[in-house]
Structure formats: C-alpha cells, structure tokens
Structure 1
Amino acid sequence: MTSKKYRILVINPMVESTNIAIYENDHCLFEKIIALETSLLNKEIILQLTDRKIEIVETIQSIGIDLTSIDAVCGRGGILSPIEGGTYQVNQQMVEDLARGRFGTHISNLGALLAKDIADDWNIDSYIVDPVVVDEMLDIAKKTGIPSIERKSIFHALNQKAVGRSLATRLHAEYNDLCLVIAHMGGGLTVGAHQYGQVIDVNNGFDGDGPFSFERAGSLPNKDLIELSFDTGKSKKDIQSKTIYQSGLKAYLNIERKAELELLWQTKTEEVKQVFDILGYQVAKEIGKMSTVLSGNVNAIALTGDLASYDYLNQSIINQVSWIADTYIFPGENILQALAKGTLRVLQGNEQPKQYL
C-alpha cells in the first residue's frame, strides 16, 4: 500500500529575504529565496508581515502549484517562552507573544506569524519545530557562581535535533535511545549534550557563551570583559555589538561575510588555518565538557553548521575528541528540510503536536 503523500510549505524568514520550500513528504518539490524589497529593509519586523505573506503566495502561484494541495504550513520558531523540544501547533498565545516581542524581537518571530496567516486562509494547520528557546536543561546546569544569575538554554535546537535524528538513522538506532554530543558551528556556535532525546546542557550561543564562532566572541575572562565595558567609553549597545556580531572569525580575519571566508581560505590558507586551530581547540574543549555531563556515556559526536564544511577545522576537532567517540560530519544548516520533517512526523501520526501555553 502506498503511504499518503503530504505537501508542506515551510518558511524561514531572514533579514534580507524569505526562504521557502514545498516538500512532498521527504522530497523537496520547490525551493526559493525571495529577496526582500529595499523599501521593506528599514521597516520594523512586525510591519513586514503582510508584504512577505503576499510575496510567498504570489511566488507559489507563479510556479503553478495548487494552493489547495498543501496540507500544512510550518514556519521557523522565534523567541518564545522556554519550551521543550517538539513540533508545536501555532496558537493564539504564540501569535500574541511573537507579535508583541514579549520575550525578545528577532526576524525568526515572523516564521510562526507567516505560517499562521497563510494556513488560516487555506483552512489548514500551522506549526513550528524546535525553536531556539527549547529548554530541556538540568536545573543544576543552569546555576552559576552568582545565585541571582542563571544560564539560559538558547541554541540551534532545530538543526541539532534534526542532526541527532539523522545520526541515529546512520547508527541504526532511535534518537531517544542515544547519548550524543552535537556541535553546531556557524554565525553562533552551540555544543549540546543530548541524552535520550533531550538536550540536558548546552552553551547559550545566542548571547555568545562558549567557544567563539564566525561573529561571536564566546566566553571571555570576566575581568577583561569588565574593563572593556568601562574603560573604553563605549555604550552597552556598542559592547553587545562587538561581542555578539563583530568578534570571532570576523575579528581575527578582518572579514564581514561568510563568502569572504571562503575566498580567504582559497588565497590565504595558512592564515585561516591558524585561526581554525584556535577555534578547533575551543570546540573540542566544549565537546569534552559536554561529555562529562553525559558521564562519558557518548554514543557519537556530530559536527554541523556552515563551518563544518571545512575539513581542516573538522579534523583539528576530531584529533582531540576521537578518544571520546566516533565523530560524524553534517555540513550546513538544513532549516527548511528540518521544518518539513518535523511537520511530517505529526501529519503521519508518528508524533503528537504540542501546545504552547
């Protein structure tokens, strides 16, 4: 018997574009990056909603796909109240929190709002999958040396959990039966300890905790950070911009975009290698830390994200962690595919949709 085919529209809003795809079960039928009109770039995020929606619908119509053939819409999750991992149906509470920016303003907040608006017009369901605020951390993992300050779980949950499931398939096992350490290396860098389907500890890559990344400074010596904040005459906003958006590989190599890194890798390989050695050391050390969280019971390690496409960096990490477990490489960040797979699990009845409260 042939299994039912579900068509899923997935949406990933970016600062300068809206990335969409239509999947039929696991197969991508169509993918498109819709560049944002220049006039929209300076608009507040929430005020871009209607224009982005119109562009999505018109794009789908232009390729001849029947809108009534789509079974569900899934958008990238935004900054919400901390929740456990899974696929969530977009409800009114979620819409209100994202529209108001109750827990923070970010371009990803538009994902669920676009999905809900479009799905309501077509009388179908809308979802998000594993947003960055997934919080499955152990209570003890949140504690710091200052009782009033706790660590937060903000990380690349969508890609990390998708990679965890893909890795489980390679190992002929179930994600919920494994203990994994997964490092996402991109604009931000997060390393998670996955224990039987839950990420029980992870560095907050959104704020720059942990290893440095393409643009984040990573954890810094407290005294030097305090001096940087007070002795330079810079504002709070200036310091945040420097540590979150203008550090890491950007600062070491004097570049702005990832395309420049690729060019530099081709033309000044030795210079990039020196920085990759530093980054690889820090990532390996973080993987080691997360291995202790799992008491050394690590079935496998995975490296993913855009930077995982550099074999030299991967190998520098593997050289230091090979004694812990085998390491598997999953380059890139397949956001649209991960959204589609999370939605498909619900449509096929393999997973129950969760409700945001």
Structure 2
Amino acid sequence: MYLLVINPGSTSTKVGLSRNSELLAVDTLQHAPEEMRRFRNVMDQKEMRRRAVEGFLSRQGLSPDKLSAVAARGGLLDPVPSGTYAVNAKMLEHLLTAKNGEHASNLGAVLAKALADRAGISAFVVDPPSVDELEDWARFSGRPELPRVSFLHALNIRRAILRCAAELGRPLQTCHFVAVHLGGGISVVAVKEGRIVDVSNANHGGPFSPERSGSLPARELLHLCFSGRYGEMELRRQINGKSGLLGYLGTNAGQEIEKRIEQGDEEAGRIFRAMAYQIAKEIGAMAAVLPQIDGLIYTGGLAHSELLLGLIQEYVGSLAPAFRLPGEDELAALAEGAYRVLSGKEEARVY
C-alpha cells in the first residue's frame, strides 16, 4: 500500500511517499516569501500547499487514487493520549478556528483530509505535540493557577521509544526510558511502561536549548516582565526564539559552535557544557520518578553531536545504556504510525 505523509512548516512543507512503512521518496517544498506574504493567516495557505503536495505526488508518477491513506503531523490540538488519530470534524473545527493557537502544523490534518477525501481514503495524524499521558502529580507546578501541561516533540520521541523497545525485544508496555529530543527546542521525558508520564515542556521549561531559555528564575523573570524593557509578545519571542545558545553566543547552529570550541573559544565551550549540564540534570530528574531505567534515548538533530552527547554522558552515563537515534525522522514516524493502523497492529484513536 502507498501512503502520503505531510509535515507543514512555517516556510516549507515536507512530504514523503511510502510503500507500507518504508519511505520511497521525500521532498521539502519551499514556499517563496513573497507568496507567503499574500496570506492573512495560516489557514489561507491551504489551497497553495495542497497544489504543491499534489505536484509532488504527480512527480512520483502516482495518482491520488493509488494511495491507501494520507498521514500528517498533528497541530495544536487538545491533550490526547499517544497514538494515530483519524481526522474527524471535531479535530478540523479545532484547527480551523485555531482553538489552541495558530501554527503551521495546524494545516497538517486539514491538508490530509482534503487530499484523502478526493481519493476516498483515510486521513490520520500521528502523535501530535499535545500528547498527554502525565501522571497526576506531574501536573502540579506550585501555583494552583499554573498547572504544568504536556507539550513535547511527541512524534519523533515516540518513534524512538518504539524502536528502542523493539531493539530490546520487549513489549513497549514493559519498558522504562528517559528520552531526550535534542533540537531547536529540547524535550526530556520519562517513559513508564511505555507511557510518557512526565515531560519538560520545550516551550516553558527544562534545559536551555539552541534558541529557547528553558526554566528561568521566577522572581527575576517577574522583575523583567514589569521592567518596561519588553512588551509581552516581544518577551515571548525572546524566551522562545532568541535565548539559549543564540542568546549567549549569537548563533543557534551547533556545528558552528563546535567549530568555535575546536578553535579555542573558551566562552563557547563554557556555554555548550552548561547546556549539556542542564540536560543531564533534567535526565536525572526524570530518572528519579521511574522504578527502573532500561535506556537513555537521544534523538533529534543535535543527537548527531558527539561532543554534546559525550558531555551529557559524563554526568548520566552510569544510569542506563544509551540509545542514539539522531535526526528528526518525522516523515518516517508518520508513515509508520499510519501503517500500524492500516495493517491492524493498532486501532485508530478518535479525537
């Protein structure tokens, strides 16, 4: 069976074609800035992106009626358990009205459903970032008005968890991991009996990352909020887009920073180790709430960095064996999630 998979980003749409769960072709469809400026909001881009995706499919020599399903990255949905979800009217309503915020990923299910309906096939989303399997005590922050929420790189992390369980030759429901997605944002999660029971929200806390601040000292943050130095939206952009490595070193590019370290830049070395130190502390915190640890899992683009993983492992290497699955294989994760449903290994969930 052939599957079309779609991952919309802010200025591009990543697409792939798979036979069963194996990707045959992938492409990144770039959208010109002047074209994007024509649209008032994300949803106005739907027809432009649909035509671009259909162009990709045509270049593969495959018509939509030859597909078995379309799977897309989930957008900003309500909290849900992990799994593959059939796109339904409620999901589309929440995404079209930006119920939980506007983001390019909201287009995923909308595009998948539009393309699937034309071919009379199923449309799915797989492990959206709002996956929520937190244990009750993980939701407390210390302020009743500010509960902790689950928001993470669920698509890539869950694929890594499934692969590591298979490598161990054990059912997922018997496995305990600490998994780390190392990207522009960093998610660290505790996996208990296959469920993601605690998370460091990559937007709100945890270690600092290439461009995000992670957890900040609360009193000092309050002082900054009321200092008049930033408006609310500008401070949000600073914390979630201009902090971390970028804030300290002027770049969020790991390879550039490693090159500077190799050339003797001591400050770059200090900051890079500080990030590794914070990641290790978060791994330790997640390990503390698990009955045992079968492995430490590293995934995401920065998992390619021997230097970063070496620094992290200096602190936590004795906790459990390390599994390294570098890269952000979200298209593969989408294909695998849809195929698990179509092949009868899982049931599609209802949103």
TM-score bin (small chain): over 0.9
Instruction: Tell me the residue number matched to 1:185.
Output: 182
Root-mean-square deviation over aligned CA pairs:
1.3
Q: Once the two structures are superposed, what CA deviation does each residue of 1:260-300 show, in whole Å capped at 9, x if it has no partner?
A: x42342354343432221111001100000011114x1111
Task: State whether residues 190 and 199 of structure 2, in contact with CA within 8 Å, keep that contact through their aligned partners in structure 1.
Answer: yes
Residue 169 (structure 1) shift: 1.7
Structure 2 letter corresponding to 1:216? R
1:265 paired with 2:258, answer yes
Q: Distance in 2 between matches of 1:339 and 1:124?
A: 16
> Runs of 4 or more off by more than 4 Å in structure 1?
none
Among 66, 69, 73, the residue aligned to 2:70:
73
Structure 2 letter corresponding to 1:161? R
1:61 paired with 2:58, answer yes
Task: State whether residues 188 and 208 of structure 1, in contact with CA within 8 Å, keep that contact through their aligned partners in structure 2.
Answer: no
Structure 2 letter corresponding to 1:117? A
Q: Distance in 1 between matches of 2:172 and 2:279?
A: 23
Q: Once the two structures are superposed, what CA deviation does each residue of 1:216-240 show, in whole Å capped at 9, x if it has no partner?
A: 0010111111111122431011111
Q: Distance in 2 between matches of 1:181 and 1:264?
A: 26
Task: State whether residues 23 and 335 of structure 2, in contact with CA within 8 Å, keep that contact through their aligned partners in structure 1.
Answer: no
Q: Distance in 2 between matches of 1:266 and 1:65?
A: 44
Task: State whether residues 15 and 41 of structure 1, in contact with CA within 8 Å, keep that contact through their aligned partners in structure 2.
Answer: no
Structure 1 letter corresponding to 2:219? K
In structure 2, the residue corresponding to 1:231 is in which secondary structure?
coil
Residue 331 (structure 1) shift: 0.9
Instruction: Tell me the residue number matched to 1:88.
Output: 85
Instruction: Tell me the residue number matched to 2:337.
Output: 342
Structure 1 letter corresponding to 2:175? L
Instruction: Tell me the residue number matched to 1:323.
Output: 318
Q: How does 1:2-13 map to 2 (within 5 A)?
A: 6-13=1-8
**TM-score between the two structures when normalised by the length of structure 2:** 0.95
Q: How does 1:173-252 map to 2 (within 5 A)?
A: 173-205=170-202, 207-252=203-248
Q: How does 1:30-41 map to 2 (within 5 A)?
A: 30-41=25-36
Task: State whether residues 165 and 174 of structure 1, in contact with CA within 8 Å, keep that contact through their aligned partners in structure 2.
Answer: no
Residue 354 (structure 1) shift: 0.4
Instruction: Tell me the residue number matched to 2:108.
Output: 111
Q: Distance in 2 between matches of 1:332 and 1:293?
A: 27
Task: State whether residues 40 and 48 of structure 1, in contact with CA within 8 Å, keep that contact through their aligned partners in structure 2.
Answer: no
Residue 144 (structure 1) shift: 1.8
Structure 2 letter corresponding to 1:265? E
Task: State whether residues 180 and 194 of structure 1, in contact with CA within 8 Å, keep that contact through their aligned partners in structure 2.
Answer: yes
Instruction: Tell me the residue number matched to 1:276.
Output: 272
Q: Once the two structures are superposed, what CA deviation does each residue of 1:57-86 show, in whole Å capped at 9, x if it has no partner?
A: 122113312322211000100001111100
Q: Distance in 2 between matches of 1:191 and 1:263?
A: 24
Structure 1 letter corresponding to 2:89? Q
Structure 1 letter corresponding to 2:36? L
Structure 1: runs of 5 or more not aligned? 1-5
Structure 2 letter corresponding to 1:81? D
1:332 paired with 2:327, answer yes
Q: Once the two structures are superposed, what CA deviation does each residue of 1:101-145 show, in whole Å capped at 9, x if it has no partner?
A: 011111100011100000000100000000000000011110121
Structure 1 letter corresponding to 2:30? A
Structure 1 letter corresponding to 2:27? K
Q: Distance in 2 between matches of 1:251 and 1:154?
A: 23
Percent identity, aligned pairs only, is 35
Structure 2: runs of 5 or more not aligned? none
Q: Distance in 2 between matches of 1:210 and 1:268?
A: 24
Instruction: Tell me the residue number matched to 1:3.
Output: none
Q: Distance in 2 between matches of 1:252 and 1:337?
A: 34
**TM-score between the two structures when normalised by the length of structure 1:** 0.94
Structure 1 residues 118, 351: closer, same or farther in 2, change over 3 A? same
